[in-house]
Amino acid sequence: MEKEVLENHERYLERVNFYRSKGYDLEKERDFILDKSLPISGEILEIGTGKGHFALALAKRGFNFTSIDISKEEQEIAMLNLRYFGLEKKVVLKIEDATHLNFSDQSFNTIFSINVFHHLEKPQAVLDEIIRLLRNGGKAILSDFNDKGLEIINACHTAEGRTHDYFKHRLSEAKDYFIMKGFTVKEYQSQVQKVLIAERIQGLKI
């Protein structure tokens, strides 16, 4: 296996173990989100690839999907993570702005966005794109840190000598917006994570 892939995997394990030591189990939380999202079917989009932690969880469960991010550097790390497990062919990575996505209306049955919402400068624009892209009967799964989760992540960033920059938007804003648009919404919560599942009612016209 390539040296770059192996070195990246070592960094991945270091991060997973470091976050776990602080009280945030990356792999466990991704599994929690996926379990609450079942059943998952059809065309799948992930908004916010990041370093590929959730993309890896999806790929390990056998799903084929498209994942977008605005950062080429982050997606390069995500691809290294996928390549270590031989899962790179499960994912199509695209560089996209989540406020203006280059996909046709109703292109996807399932849309994920994990630990992204609090970073969004214009959350309503992203929600509008999610609504535009969802097919009738489709669902959007948004998950983000709850207060305890944010506290842990902020502490992790500080320990790493970094600052966790975010706009402090909360999933409650997304919930209210989806309901206003006629979606049904379910909520779940782990110790550190909130999960919002918004389903587009069959035949609903936005």
Q: Is residue 205 part of a domain?
A: no
pLDDT of residue 155: 87
| pLDDT grade for 63, boundaries at 50, 70 and 90 | very high
3-state secondary structure of 202: coil
Per-residue model confidence as pLDDT tens digits over 85-136: 999 999 999 999 999 999 999 999 999 999 999 989 999 999 999 999 999 9
Asked if residue 25 belongs to a domain, the reply is yes
* Predicted local distance difference test score (pLDDT) of residue 159: 86
Quote the number of domains for the chain: 1
Give pLDDT, residue 70. Answer: 96
Residue 48 above 90 pLDDT?
yes
Taking alpha carbons only, the member of 133, 79, 90 closest to residue 110 is 133
Nearest by Cα to 46 from 140, 138, 121: 140
Q: 152 in a domain, yes or no? A: yes
Contacts of 130 (CB under 8 A, 6+ apart): 47, 111, 113, 140
Cα–Cα distance between 124 and 120 in angstroms, integer?
A: 9
For residue 100, the enclosing domain spans 3-199
What's the whole-number mean pLDDT along residues 10-23? 93
Which segment of 17-21, 139-143, 198-202 scores lowest on mean pLDDT?
198-202
For residue 23, the one-letter residue type is G
- Please report whether residue 189 resides in a domain: yes
Choose the weakest-confidence range: 1-5, 56-60, 71-75, 180-184.
Answer: 1-5
* In a domain? residue 204: no
Q: Considering the domain boundaries, does residue 133 fall inside one? A: yes
- 27 located within any domain: yes
The string of pLDDT tens digits covering residues 128-166 is: 999 999 999 999 999 999 989 988 988 888 888 887 777
CA distance readout (Å), 169 to 92, 108, 144: 28, 25, 10
d(CA 187, CA 179): 12
Contacts of 13 (CB under 8 A, 6+ apart): none
Res 202 pLDDT > 70: no
CATH of the domain at 160: 3.40.50.150
**With 0-12 CB in 10 A as exposed, 13-18 as middle and 19+ as buried, what is 47?**
buried
Residue 206 maps to a domain:
no
Locate 110 and state its tokens.
Answer: 């399932």
